[in-house]
Amino acid sequence: MTVRIGGGQGFYGDTPRAVEGLLAEGVDYLCLEALAELTLAILQKDRQRDETRGYTRDLPLYLGAALPAVAEGRTKIVTNAGGINPAAAARAAIDTARQMGVTGIKVATVLGDDLMTRLASLRSAGASLESMETGEPFDALPGEPLFAAAYLGARPIVEALEQGADVVITGRVADAALFLGPLAYEHGWAFDDWDRLAAGTLVGHLLECSGQVAGGNYSGEWWTIPHPWDLPYPIAEVEADGSAVITKPKASGGRVSFDTVRHQLLYEVHDPAAYLAPDVVADFASATFDDLGSDRVRVTRVRGKPATPTYKALLAYHAGWAGEARVGFGWPDAAEKAKATAAIFRKRVEMAGLEVAEWCVECWGVDALGGPTVPESSRAVEPPEVGLRVAWRCSDQATAARVGRELVPLTLSAPPAGLTGMGRGMGGGGGTELLGIWPTLVPKELVDPNVTVTVEEVR
């Protein structure tokens, strides 16, 4: 049996327009991957303003595009759009279905990734919760946690599908687990079948970023990608032995080739031979890619090793307030003008007695992106224009806003010929709350007993 899975979303804010092409190709599952660390921070701010929020607001748009196919039994949906409030997301899904006149489908909610109310008991049970990045103990956390989420695996998704779910909504599960869950369920893979779990995880990793595996963000001959305005979203045709073919809708743009697939393979991967996922340690280096032509690449021979005894978890804390300003400078001496203006601005802030905890100064067109990786020969060419970006972090919102005002007088008092397009981003320069992140590990045995799956039929 071949299971066809479509990667219909790569991030919160992606376009639901791609769903139509995937459904037209007859995918059995539509997986919508909506979360990232930044997304969790955004959703936390949403929930602070409104306790009924905390899930991705574009979920109803995706459901609006896909629920007719779900109601007809042509596909099922698995998504982590629940963010830090999966229960509210499930309620929104049910409301959306009712508004569309869709009934009889079952919506599953996966809970248990939220660790906020259990941090003290986790520590008492032996979880150190030290920072994975610095090794600092939990007591060194710079502020009170605002959210704490464990990256769950595919097991609860399988459980939801076993209970007849047509739509599965989770909170923070690992990206690739959204795809592994349906594959493990449909093919009956055991959760100690490490090679097949690794194969499913690799498929998920290839599809989780929507268009990237099909030519998006391609760093090779990117200009040769066919009509890229017609966004390509990927499909995996997966067999019971874990072998898979990566492809895309025939009518879409983009390209699926050996190069585009291996390009995505290395995306956000530290060690290809030991990709740590909740369900398995996957050896991506073992995979064999065969370009079959016609936008089809076969993936075989993936190997895996037993999963680790821990889940990754992410905590966030208040980390001050930020402001940002962006200014454009034109030729001649564009870079010098930008750097001088940044220095003048910082001096004015100092003279105003405003305390800034951290500065970030970038000259776009000079050093903001490539930095030391840019060849010296390229550095020698003066850019025709430079965009100056200055950001700052302060301890309170009012100070962050006042810092930005010190740039305004430079409209007529900066270096010559080119202070243009002055714009203050991030909330109009009024100060935006910053969240710091604290990645850590939590023993699975302390998390799994609290993971639950509930299923509700839309009536």
- The predicted pLDDT at position 377 comes to 66
Query: Which amino acid does the sequence have at 308?
Result: T
Residue 114 and residue 92: Cα distance in Å, rounded? 19
Least confident range of 107-111, 164-168, 357-361, 416-420: 416-420
What pLDDT band is residue 374 in, cutting at 50, 70 and 90?
A: low
Span 200-223, pLDDT tens digits? 999 999 999 999 999 998 888 988
- The predicted pLDDT at position 113 comes to 97
- The answer, as to whether pTM is greater than 0.85, is yes
CATH class of 317-437: alpha beta
Q: How large is the average pLDDT for residues 405-431?
A: 57
Query: Which amino acid does the sequence have at 119?
Result: L
DSSP string, 390-450: EEEEESSHHHHHHHHHTTGGGGTTSSSS--EEEE--TTTTT-EEEEEEEEEEEEHHHHGGG
In a 13 Å sphere around the CA of 397, the CA atoms on its Cβ side amount to: 9
- The predicted pLDDT at position 217 comes to 87
Residue 114 and residue 94: Cα distance in Å, rounded? 22
Q: Considering only CA atoms, which of 370, 411, 363 is closest in space to residue 387?
A: 363
- The predicted pLDDT at position 366 comes to 77
Q: 433-452: string of b/e by CB count within 10 Å (b at 16+)?
A: bbbeebebbbbbebbeeebe
pLDDT at 456 over 80: yes
Q: Please give the residue that has the higher pLDDT: either 395 or 129.
A: 129
Q: Tell me the pLDDT of the chain averaged across its residues.
A: 91
Contacts of 342 (CB under 8 A, 6+ apart): 361, 388, 390
Domain with CATH 3.30.70.1430 in the chain: 317-437
